[in-house]
Structure 1
Amino acid sequence: MIFTDSVTVSGVRRTADGYLVGEARVARTGIQDYLGTEIDPENEHGLRDKPIVRVYRPESAVFHQDAMQSYAYRPMTNGHPGGDGVNSKNWKDVAIGQTGGEVVRDGQFVKVPLVLMDAKAIEDWEAGKRELSMGYGAEVVFQDGVSPEGEPFDCYLGPMKMNHMSLEHRARGGDQLRFGDNTPTPPQGGHQMADTLRTVIVDGLSVQTTDQGAQAIDKLTKQLADAGVNIKTLTDAHAAALALKDADLAKKDAEIDSLKAKQLSDADIDARVTARADLISKAKSIADADYTGKTDADIRKAVVIAKLGDAAVAGKADAYIDARFEILVEDAAKNPANDPFRQHMIQQDGKTVGDESEKARLQMIADMQTAHLPAQA
Structure 2
Amino acid sequence: MRKVLRYDSMQFVAGAVTTPEGFLLDSPIVARTGIYTYLQPDGSVRREYRPPDEVFAEDALVSFKGKPITVLHPKGGRVTADTAHKVTIGTIMSPAYRKNDTDVACDIIIHSPQETKGFRELSVGYSVELEETPGLTPDGEPYDAVQHLIRCNHLAVVPSARAGRKARLNLDGNEVLDGFESEGNKNMVKIRIDSNEFEVEQAVANHITALTNKCDAANAKADAAETKFTQVKTELEKVKTDAADQKVKLDAAEAERDALKGKLDATTAEKEAAIEKAVGKAKAEVKERAELDACAKKAQVEKTDGLDNKALKIAIVKALRGDSVDFEGKTDDYINAYYDSIKNDLNDTDEAVRQQLNKARQKLDGQESQTPAAKHRQDMIDRMTNKKEEK
TM-score normalised by the chain length of structure 1: 0.47
Question: In terms of Rg, which structure is larger?
Answer: 2
TM-score normalised by the chain length of structure 2: 0.45
